[in-house]
Amino acid sequence: MALEQRLNLSVKQTLNLRMTPQLRQAIKILQVSRPELESMVSDELCQNPTLEEAEGMPDAGEYASRTGDIETSESEPVAEPTSNADTGDSTQMEKIDWDDYVDRYSGDFHGSVSGGSDRDDGRTSIFENTAKTEETLTEVLEDELNIIAMSEEERRIGRVIVNNLNSDGYLSCSTEELAFMAQTTVEMIDEVREIVQELEPVGCGCINLRECLLIQLKLQGYEPDDYVIAIVNGQLKELEARRYDRIAKTLGCNEDEVVEAHKIIRSLEPKPGSNYGQGETRFIQPDCYVHKVGDDLVVTLNEEGLPALRVSPYYEKLLKTELPPGDARGYIQEKVRAAVWMIRSIEQRQRTLRKVTESIVSHQREFFLHGVQHLKPMVLKDVANDIGMHESTVSRATSNKYVQVDRGLYELKYFFTSSLKGTDGSDFSSESVKEKIQEIIGKEDPRKPLSDQVIAAQLAKEHVDIARRTVAKYREFLGILPSSKRKRYKDAD
């Protein structure tokens, strides 16, 4: 058998999908929250000299009709062949007739960045435009440390302690770690902690709940032999389960005294730092509103905070001349293209948001008219099929977006719920079932709370086919305790 060398050149042309940076930006703009979008626009205005803010400009509907929709961001994800990805952009830029480009789009980047949406300059926001900055827990405690009588060494250690508290006012590390950070002893840390614990709010700087409650009781004048002190010291688990009979038997007192002690303990603050801010408060602003006008439900987009954008007329004129040489002209062309894409992407975001919201309102009309009990099961596919978009696009369009209706503020994701089959063949949304569970528990006798099995049986009478375990899951989601911990004794509350 003879051996021979051969050189074969095999050329195989393939077509791969690749998302362009512009498409990635459009997708990102679609899914970001309103504050993030405002921040993106602000950053782009700072970085791109060809993009500017303009006031009192015509409606962007004209722009939308002349430039067309960016359907690529709706029908997920359109891509370009990799074979042209590296050279296509630069080649295309060379072929652009910039005089024609500027003439076509000279007045088109003038609309609201939310093309096709409604702007009502006379409408005031129902939310605060600026948030009040509250003092943090650390700032409050440090101010108190500065005015009380103590040595400078104790004050220094006190600052180390208050700067290592969590949002509830408890220590976020051990006393040994605090001693290492303050370059002192554990005994000295404990001495200064006792001072911090008596500052306002009382109970900060404690290690656990028991210590926090005991400090508050001590400052209220209770003695170590009082029943309330004994319960906090060793009966908190029994008290949580409301086993008053067992506590009374252990302490050698009657149930009435235990109930009275429980009322005192309930008046204490288990999280002394929770009432203090952690910095600037951020308010949620709705992305759209739903109003009832006659028999119709009308969707309007919230325009506040989104500036009207356009390409700078100065750079438009500059591109018509021969002044910008070589690299400068290329830089301006690149920035103009980025500005165009930013404006169109934001307009597309707003149009998509409007379509999605209108579809949700159409599917959930009974909810908007009559409340949560009438919320229907709905999934992303229902809206996607209705408006002719991909499910992932609908998911992005509803992520971190909020709608303001007459009955409150809701995240758009709220309206997508799983379904439970009814015994009569009808479907119930999980949110409406949670509402029913909350209503049933709200009407129960607090001395004889209903078990999950009993709640499931009551729901079955309303044609809701639900298992006990599902009731328990929904109850926990609502933050409602089990029946054993909801039980009330006499005047405990």
> How high is the pLDDT of residue 67?
37
3-state helix, strand, coil in the chain (%, to 5): 50, 10, 40
Q: Is the pLDDT of residue 94 over 50?
A: no
359 falls in which pLDDT band (50, 70, 90)?
Answer: very high
pLDDT tens for each residue of 323-355: 667 778 788 888 888 888 888 988 999 999 999
> How high is the pLDDT of residue 16?
66
Q: What's the chain's average pLDDT?
A: 78
Q: Is the pLDDT of residue 356 over 90?
A: yes
Choose among 429, 443, 430: nearest CA to 473. Answer: 430
- Could you give the CA distance from residue 143 to residue 35 in angstroms, rounded to a whole number? 33
> How high is the pLDDT of residue 163?
92
Q: Per the structure block, which two tokens stand in for 194? A: 């006792």
pLDDT tens for each residue of 173-232: 898 999 999 899 999 999 999 999 989 889 999 999 999 999 999 988 888 888 889 888
Q: Is the pLDDT of residue 118 over 50?
A: no
Q: Is the pLDDT of residue 382 over 70?
A: yes
Q: Is the pLDDT of residue 357 over 90?
A: yes
The CATH superfamily label for domain 137-266 reads RNA polymerase sigma-54 factor, core-binding domain (1.10.10.1330)
- Could you give the CA distance from residue 57 to residue 112 in angstroms, rounded to a whole number? 8
Rounded to the nearest 5 degrees, what angle is found at the Cα of 451, between the Cα atoms of 450 and 455? 75
Average pLDDT over residues 393-405: 90
- Could you give the CA distance from residue 265 to residue 229 in angstroms, rounded to a whole number? 9
Can 137-266 and 419-486 be said to share one CATH topology?
yes
% of the chain exceeding 90 in pLDDT: 12
> How high is the pLDDT of residue 156?
92
Choose among 365, 371, 368: nearest CA to 438. Answer: 371
pLDDT tens for each residue of 245-298: 888 888 888 888 888 888 898 889 998 888 876 555 567 888 999 998 888 899
Q: Which long-range contacts (CB under 8 A, 24 or more apart) does 143-149 make?
A: 144/199, 144/200, 145/196, 145/199, 148/195, 148/199
Determine the 3-state secondary structure of 268 from DSSP: coil
Domain limits of the chain? Answer: 17-120+301-351, 137-266, 419-486
Q: In this predicted model, which residue has the larger pLDDT, 488 or 458?
A: 458
> How high is the pLDDT of residue 160?
92
Query: Domain 419-486 is in which class?
Result: mainly alpha
Q: In this predicted model, which residue has the larger pLDDT, 355 or 132?
A: 355
Q: In this predicted model, which residue has the larger pLDDT, 414 or 276?
A: 414
- Could you give the CA distance from residue 394 to residue 274 in angstroms, rounded to a whole number? 37
CB distance 61 to 115 below 8 Å: yes
Residue count of the chain = 493
Average pLDDT over residues 117-142: 56
Q: Is the pLDDT of residue 30 over 80?
A: yes
Q: Is the pLDDT of residue 124 over 70?
A: no
> How high is the pLDDT of residue 11?
64
Q: In this predicted model, which residue has the larger pLDDT, 47 or 111?
A: 47
> How high is the pLDDT of residue 402?
92
> How high is the pLDDT of residue 281?
57
